[in-house]
Amino acid sequence: MGSVPTSASHFAALPTAPRDEIFALLGEFRRDTHPQRVNLGAGVYCDNDGEPFPLDVVRTVEKSMNEKADPHRHDYTPIEGDQEFLALARKFVFGDACDESRLTSVQTVSGSGANHVGARFLANTIRPRRVWLSAPTWANHELIWATVGVPVHFYPYYNAETRALDFAAMVETLEKEAEANDVIVLHACAHNPTGLDPTKEQWIVLGELCQRKGIFPFFDNAYQGFASGDPSIDAWAIRHFAQLQPPIEMCVAQSFSKNLGLYGHRAGAFHVVATGEGCTPAAKDAVTANLAQIIRSEYSVSPRYGSDIVKAVLGNKDLTRKWQAELHTMAGRIIAMRVCLYEELRRLGTPGSWTHIIDQIGMFSYTGLTPPEVTYLKEKFHIYIHSSGRISIAGLNTKNVKYVAAAIHAVRSDPSLVTSA
């Protein structure tokens, strides 16, 4: 009997895909046993003791769910999702700014799933020549749009010299280069990673620009209520675009990971706002059917535990009121930590300007720390930060903020490290 011929593996020459830096940092942090280690990489809210923060209102709902022991609690949701959850999620985003007849919604695997389902849907339907992303943006945006085959272009957003939003350059680029049917991804609030948002006046300019040029707005709404503490304030830009006259078509990817602390339960939704000639009930049904086909091909149905919690909170006025109080507390702690870090850096006389820390909003701050400084902070002080210099303010607390400030001061004062300050 002859020997079985051998051949090289199909995967022998497979190139290594880059690791996700945030999750890689989290892994390093978890393996670190240093008593003063600090995690400023992952976007997860922690309390003042650096511990996870399950919301009281979520625990109340979970207790009720456990006591009820609904025999259907493990059933599949429909492919398009739980309709009661979707109606409440729509209301939370749009308020009264958009007629229900214009809205189509499906449940998704949190915000990442909403972004991907939305990108695939638009790539299949309106077939944009390009998508415009902010420079910088959440890392997953570029990956998602690349996987659906839409060329990615970047519009200026962050000015490294001023540590501020470069709105003039953003508008100039979009005016000169963006074309009708292009998609533009906009962060509804608490821009990730910079923490810099347009003002209301600037949002009005962007709305007019999209309306006039026929650019399709795609809002990523990951932090509603978590940025300012007020969900209506954080939804202002979306609601403004939804009320433009003449109306425009747009979409929204929505996540409940941050504002309800449901990170691992993946509760989200994707909403399409349609308008114009041919926008009929039949066309709306076709949108739902096409979205459902994408969902079916990728993961069949969304997880229900997180959406059941969202449904219980948003469907009860008393629970909604208690939740919004907790949102206010979380947002307030983050704002307070920004002030503490800023004041401590000022007290130490740390080289550089640090006012951007208190000018920014939301979970993240673009500090201006350089990659060599970030590496030094990790190796010498066990402080874990993204290489871009982005820090998660939620990882700061009254017990570690002085340590972090002292470490930044030591790094920024070291002449052997090249900085951009």
**Cα 189 to chain center, whole Å?**
9
From residue 54, give the alpha-carbon distance in Å to each of 231, 238, 308: 19, 28, 16
Strand residues in 49-130 grouped as ranges (E): 103-109
284 is catalytic: no
47 part of the active site = no
Of the candidates 138, 145, 236, 354, the residue annotated as catalytic is 138
Strands 250-255, 38-39: pairing is: unpaired
Closest Cα to residue 403, out of 280, 232, 168, 411? 411
Active-site residue, 354 included: no
CA atoms of 223 and 157, how far apart (whole Å):
19
- Rounded distance between C-alpha atoms, residue 396 and residue 339, angstroms: 11
Catalytic residue among 82, 182, 220, 308: 220
Question: Prior bond to 136 cis, omega within 30?
Answer: yes
H/E stretch holding 255 reads strand 250-255
Contact 198, 219 (CB under 8 A): no
Residue type, 324: Q
Tell me which of 82, 132, 197, 258 is the catalytic residue: 258
Q: How many residues does this entry show for the chain?
A: 421
Whole-angstrom Cα distance, residue 300 to residue 288?
Answer: 14
CB 211 within 8 Å of CB 246: yes
- Return the active site residues: 138, 220, 258
